[in-house]
Structure 1
Amino acid sequence: MEQTLLPLSIKEETAVPQKRNFTPTFIPYDNQQTTLIFDIQDLIPVHHVARVINQMIESIEDSVFSKTIK
C-alpha cells in the first residue's frame, strides 16, 4: 500500500482591501417644492372603533398622565 504525502506548507492569501472612491449622490433640491398635508382621520371610517377609542383617551384629564411621568 502506497501513501501519498500532502504538502503541509499551504500559504493562505489575505485579502488586501482596495481603496474605493465613492462620489456623493445628492437628491435634487427645489425650494419651490410643495408638501401635501392631509388629515389621517379622513382615512378612518365614521363608525370605526378607532374613533371610539380616541374619544375615550381624549376624555382622560392630562393630569392623570403627568402624575405617572414624574
Structure 2
Amino acid sequence: MSFYDYQQHLPRLRQQGCSPTKVAQELSALTDRIDVIEKLVAEEISSYSSLSDGHLSIIANAPRPGCR
C-alpha cells in the first residue's frame, strides 16, 4: 500500500473505530517529509530548465548505505 493509498484509506478505518499505531503515525510523518522533499527537488530541477549552456549532473546518494 502506498502512502497515498494509506492517506485515502485512513478516514474509512477511523469510521470503523480503528486508529493508526504509533509506528504507522511515525511512518506517515516520514512519508509526508519525503513527499515535500521530492516536490522541492522537482521544483529546483525545473528552475534550471531555462539554461541554454552547460551541464547538470544529478547524483542520488543515501546518508546511510544499505547493510545486510
| TM-score over 0.5 for the pair | no
TM-score normalised to structure 1 length: 0.25
Query: Larger RCO: Structure 1 or Structure 2 (Cα < 8 Å, ≥ 6 residues apart)?
Result: 2
Larger radius of gyration: 1
- TM-score, reference length from structure 2: 0.26
